[in-house]
Amino acid sequence: MANLASTYRSQGRWEAAEELEVQVMETRKEKLGADHLYTLNGMADLASTYRNQGRWKEAEELDVQVMETRKEKLGADHPSTLNGMVNLASTWKTQGRDMEAIGLMVESAWLQEQVLGNSHTDFISSSNILADWEAEQRGPRKIE
């Protein structure tokens, strides 16, 4: 079911993806527990679908829950926790919460560099996103 939901997400079929993702998440909660890593992955998938639907508040609620539970279960510097931080920062950015988003992305990128190294794709991606966000905050530069 999770794979089919992922296929629907890839096709932009958000409602179909959401329907399956909710079922996957609820079943995993029931069978594995709310803090099981598979359950958290399902919640992260659903949050992604919500982001793609413009449902920022629902995405944020799931992003926070996923990030905090991963932090508790796996540690603050685990790659899955760091990925959750990036997702939450992106959700905040789309909500216009730029300073919070940049702050969380700074923290995430720094930890990614420490844990994964500066040649890892996750660090490079986060660094590029962060650079874009910071440039956007500064505004257009005048060319003289």
Report pLDDT digits (tens) over 10-58.
999 999 999 999 999 999 999 999 999 999 999 999 999 999 999 999 9
Confidence of residue 142 (pLDDT cuts 50, 70, 90): low
Average pLDDT on 133-139 reads 89
96 shares a domain with 130: yes
Residue 36 lies in a domain: yes
Range of the domain at 36: 1-62
Q: What is the dihedral of CA 95, 29, 86, 57, to 10 degrees?
A: 0
CATH number, domain with residue 89: 1.25.40
Contact (CB, 8 A) for 35 and 69 = yes
Percent of the chain with pLDDT over 70: 97
pLDDT at 140 over 80: no
Contact (CB, 8 A) for 59 and 91 = yes
Residue 83 lies in a domain: yes
Residue 81 lies in a domain: yes
Residue 38 lies in a domain: yes
Residue 51 lies in a domain: yes
Quote the number of domains for the chain. 2
